[in-house]
Amino acid sequence: CHVVFSSKNLDPQANYYRSNGFSVRLVKDVEGETTNTENGHEYVDIGLSVKWATCIVGATKPEEYGDHFAWGETEPKDYYDYSTYKWCNGSYTTLTKYNHSSSYGTVDNKTTLDLSDDAARANWGGNWRMPTHEEQEELRTQCSWTWTTQNGVNGYTVTGPNGNSIFLPAAGFRDHRDDSSLNYAGSDGRYRSSSLDTYYPYYVFTLYFDSDKVDWCGSSRYVGLSVRPVCQ
């Protein structure tokens, strides 16, 4: 059975030989569909307290590396160092915002990013934001992590309690020690949270993984890392 039409008529049950060549318009099943959108960007409900975006900020596909951001900055840049970092006067001991110790600059006791300094909100708008340390910990401990390759890119398929999943590429990082070129792409991933380190205000809680483990590291605020947004 075929659908045949012209500018003058439509025949939804036309019969032709199986050997004839015709166009094919694809369809897909919508039952079990897992992706939805918030302000034009897709997310997946994987059964946690927040919905996780399908892509990194700056990417259009789950496996793309996207952009890298210093903590509290909303645009990628060419050189990642304290000399170019927005919230200090040239070093980690002269912080001008987000600081709970007088040994490291101006104290304001802020420990979570303001939305005005949140790369997810600034670039995607809507209700998007960077995840907190607690939300990343939920992702780390309540999901199954499988190291895999998606479209030629290494990373983890992260499957939530409800069976839905996201892909986190091993997108590496950028800092001044290698002239801000991309380091360790394909072998490790470092994803920013919005939460300042409890002890050292020049560090930020960071979700870290490689092919052997999924853990935490304290990353310097100036380093360019990946941002995977969340929304409610």
Please give the average pLDDT of every successive group of 10 residues along the chain, which has 232 residues. 62 62 54 79 98 98 98 97 97 98 98 98 98 98 98 98 98 89 96 97 98 96 98 96
pLDDT at 179: 80
Rounded to whole angstroms, the Cα distance separating 91 from 138 reads: 33
Rounded to whole angstroms, the Cα distance separating 38 from 48 reads: 17
* Residue whose token pair is 């999943």: 165
pLDDT at 125: 98
Write 109-113 long-range contacts (CB < 8 A, 24+). Answer: 110/196, 111/195, 111/196, 112/194, 112/195, 112/196, 113/71, 113/72, 113/194
pLDDT at 32: 46
Rounded to whole angstroms, the Cα distance separating 194 from 198 reads: 12
| One-letter amino acid of 24 | V
pLDDT at 130: 98
Q: Tell me the pTM.
A: 0.85
pLDDT at 31: 41
The SS3 call for residue 135 is helix
pLDDT at 30: 37
